[in-house]
Amino acid sequence: MHTIARSNSSGPLSLAFALAVFAGAAGALAQDSVSTNGNGGNGLPGDALSPFATGQPFQRANYVVDLRSFTTSWGTTFGIAPVLKSVKVSDQRFNAVNGPSAMSAAVRTTNLTSPVNFAAWNVAGAGVSPSQNNTGATTSVALSGDATTFGVSVLDFDEQTAGPSLAFVNTITSASVRFVPANPTRLYVTRTAIATNAVSGAADNSQFGLGAVDINGSTVFRADAFQSLGSSQIAGENYFLVTAPQRLEGTVNTITSTGGANASNRLLNNNTITSATPTLVPAEAGNGAAMVLGANFAGQLVTRPVAGALGFPTNHRPNAIDHRGAASFSTAPLFAGSRGTGAVLTRSTGGGGKTDSVSVFAVSSANAITDARTLTLPANIADACDAFSWPINGGDFRQYDNQSVFRGGTGPVAIGRDLQGRGLVASTVYNGTQLGSDNPFNAIVAGRFDPANANPAEWTVVAWVDTVGSDGKDILGDYGADGAPGTNDAGENDGVVNQLDAPIGRIASLAEGTSGFTGPSLSAPAFDSAGNAYFIASVSLKKAAGQIILEERDVALVRAVLNPQTFCYRLELVLEQGQTFAGPNSGRNYRVTWLGLADEDSVSSASLWSGNAASEPWTGGTTQLANLTNQSPQHLGGLALSARIVYDVDQNGQFNDPTAVGGVQSSVDEAYNVVLYVGNVTPVGPACDSIDFNNDGSLFDPTDIDAFLSVFSEGPCVPETATCNDVDFNNDGSLFDPCDIDSFLLVFSEGPCTLCGV
């Protein structure tokens, strides 16, 4: 429902209606804090930061957020935290309504000494707001050593009085986030105000669509002047890349007819062809120049490296008459010699006008579009887990025929690869028996292909819903024979999901529920580095009410775990609306009260898109990941998720939002639209080689000890006719290291693989 007024879509909502709905059920960005509530009334005004004030912490802030660990329905451990809060424009709301959010495609680990310190706190009332937090209750912490970095960005909406009119305020905020791999639950956040479309109390001169973000928080976005009211309106179609580290804290970066005020690269300037929200080929992809990558309504890509030339290639979609929606990008270099891989939904030459294909292409080291291939849906497609044939009935890929083309997110196609190196694409199909962008009869399908040859892709169904039969794909969990958590029945919490465990629920049509929303039942998918797919879904979950097992309609974040041998995806419940977490920094519990899925006529821009998850592993590299199973959480480099959370400030267990429609207006609880980060919190252990050091096929053979010690002493392999492995047995990158001897002897004695001191 983040398709609010001036949405550029058919049938836009009134802003007042949208804001009223989201006050009770919406989402956007957040650090883990609550205010001192100095006014003595209800929870308002809260401690969100104004986008119009200059200096710290408004234009830049550095603070710590600590993750809270939680387990999924399979017992997988992730961490969660609100890393950004939406900005505050109105006194009537805690903060703005968020549109789409984004996560950097890349994750990088480097040795770093940060030039700044970060504010940290762990008591209620502390935080970064000079007027609404007790800043004296914060401490200052430093960051140095090996640190992993990723980026997050979000687009917010609100309104303000501008003379006789209401201005529609758009604000983009980003964060560059770091953590130390040995202590992954602590995030070091540098928050930067990227851009706004108005100044305080004035009319708007532009409107934004969020594109993508890099690890430094630099953000690419779309801007036009659709229904803007200001006197310095931007003209035509525009792409901006704002470089976060160069943003001056003393300026508000307002986007007007002259461009941006600070650190703004205008990569598409007053173009006359309508363009979708862009994505970003970041500098860290192949270590080249950053490049904006978009798609326009003339069937062209829109490409421009920073300080390079603007291009409009069409070779990205062979055997296709046109493309639809925004382009996607992954740093996974599926094609030889590439920086990464792009994709867009297309209409094949034989498809009769249906959006029946995904065109996938390489971005070369010179930022050229090469190696393009069009993958077309088959007429029938089955779920490889149980051979269920989901009825396409002439349907096609959608989630482009709505405001997301102009507002984001980016984009509808997920791109990745499995651990065997095979290419993967996935997107959401709408059944052909129901027309319109609000069709709830959907499936997420994935295509797998060999990038090295032109053989046809093989297809499978990742998740599906059947509105005719009120049915959907099963969601699995370790909840025992009745499928409901907390009943302590046979098989529950035994550490394995097997035949003792009944399905815990299913994907459900959004039309079955009573949410008040209509639209698709499934968001777009996003891949992790092992080809597992994440998405937001309408679900029906089993819950215990005394001795009765009920089915409860809900919206949830789901992970589809890939079995690469069978090309089958099994569904795991990760996060659902209504879950409560203890905020490590705020000292208060918060409840997730809203996850974006659909608005009044289409998929929500604030739902999950392929650009909401990193396409790389947890610390960026693949070292020590090869021995992990597909379901291991370390394959997820991170996921950014728009959400609304409510803090139980008075600790009465009620989570009452005083701004909610029909809510308790006297409540001192505080509700914020935030970006939640979901990521791994389990350090990757060392990956030791086989104890068959001389590769003679014999395990626990004393000859292997002789061979290892001989090679370690720079002698020959034993026997000399054998082929020995290298002496970096624990794969820590250090050769002729005594730790390798310890590791080898420990594993030989059937102990664990370990590093010295670990």
**Closest-CA residue to 640 (of 14, 174, 265):** 174
Domain containing 750 equals 686-758
Task: Give whole-number Cα distances, 610 to 528, 615, 688, in Å.
Answer: 10, 9, 34
Task: Read off the pLDDT band of 23 (50, 70, 90).
Answer: very low
Q: Last residue of a domain, which of 621, 650, 679?
A: 679
3 domain-assigned: no
324 domain-assigned: yes
What are the two backbone dihedrals, phi and then psi, of residue 194, each rounded to the nearest 5 degrees? -85, -55
* Both tokens assigned to 512: 């079955």
Model pLDDT, residue 508: 95
* Distant-in-sequence, close-in-space partners of 151: CB < 8 Å, separation ≥ 6: 103, 104, 174, 175, 176, 177, 213, 214, 215, 216, 217, 218, 244
129 domain-assigned: yes
Q: Are strands 60-66 and 183-196 parallel, antiparallel or unpaired?
A: antiparallel
Model pLDDT, residue 257: 96
Alpha carbon of residue 634 to chain centroid: 15
> 646 and 698: one domain?
no
Give the separation between CA 90 and CA 571, rounded to whole angstroms: 40
What are the two backbone dihedrals, phi and then psi, of residue 16, each rounded to the nearest 5 degrees? -60, -40
Model pLDDT, residue 683: 80
One-letter amino acid at 46 equals G
* Distant-in-sequence, close-in-space partners of 750: CB < 8 Å, separation ≥ 6: none
* Nearest-10 Cα torsion for 71, 76, 81, 86: -100
Give the separation between CA 154 and CA 25, rounded to whole angstroms: 18
Task: Give whole-number Cα distances, 328 to 22, 211, 414, 448, 587, in Å.
Answer: 28, 10, 7, 17, 39
> 40 and 121: one domain?
yes
Q: Last residue of a domain, which of 679, 712, 741?
A: 679
Q: Assess whether pLDDT exceeds 70 at residue 733.
A: no
Cis peptide before 686 (omega within 30 of 0): no
Beta-carbon count within 10 A of 689 CB: 19
Task: Read off the pLDDT band of 515 (50, 70, 90).
Answer: low
Do 149 and 93 touch, CB atoms closer than 8 A? no
Kindly report the average pLDDT of the chain as a whole number: 91
Do 148 and 179 touch, CB atoms closer than 8 A? yes
> 164 and 223: one domain?
yes
581 domain-assigned: yes
User: What's the pLDDT tens digit per position in 47-65?
Assistant: 999 999 999 999 999 999 9
Do 308 and 291 touch, CB atoms closer than 8 A? yes
612 domain-assigned: yes
**Closest-CA residue to 34 (of 682, 696, 655):** 655
Model pLDDT, residue 27: 33
> 207 and 306: one domain?
yes
Give the helix/strand (H/E) hosting 21: helix 15-25
Instruction: Kindly report the pTM of this predicted structure.
Output: 0.88
* Both tokens assigned to 125: 């009332």
633 domain-assigned: yes
Per-residue pLDDT averaged across 644-650, rounded?
97
Give the helix/strand (H/E) hosting 743: helix 738-748
Model pLDDT, residue 687: 64
**Three-state DSSP state, 748:** helix
pLDDT cut 70: percent of the chain above it: 93
* Distant-in-sequence, close-in-space partners of 183: CB < 8 Å, separation ≥ 6: none
Residue for token pair 């909406």: 157
293 domain-assigned: yes
> 675 and 700: one domain?
no
> 403 and 516: one domain?
yes
Task: Read off the pLDDT band of 25 (50, 70, 90).
Answer: very low
Helices (H), 300-440: 404-407
Beta-carbon count within 10 A of 198 CB: 27
> 587 and 724: one domain?
no
Query: For the residues of 176-228, what is the DSSP string, one character each?
Result: EEEEETTEEEEEEEEEEEEEES--TTS----EEEEEEE-TT--EEEEEE-TT-
Model pLDDT, residue 14: 36
Do 169 and 157 touch, CB atoms closer than 8 A? yes
Q: Which residues pair with 242 in a beta bridge?
A: 219, 264
- Per the model's pLDDT, the better-predicted residue between 17 and 124 turns out to be 124
> 544 and 426: one domain?
yes
Query: What's the burial of 749, exposed, middle or buried (CB within 10 Å: 0-12/13-18/19+)?
Result: exposed
> 699 and 668: one domain?
no
Model pLDDT, residue 26: 35
> 251 and 383: one domain?
yes
> 510 and 599: one domain?
yes
Per-residue pLDDT averaged across 284-290, rounded?
90
294 domain-assigned: yes
Give the separation between CA 9 and CA 11, rounded to whole angstroms: 6
Model pLDDT, residue 503: 96
Alpha carbon of residue 194 to chain centroid: 19
> 706 and 691: one domain?
yes
Q: Last residue of a domain, which of 627, 648, 679?
A: 679
Tally of structural domains, the chain: 2
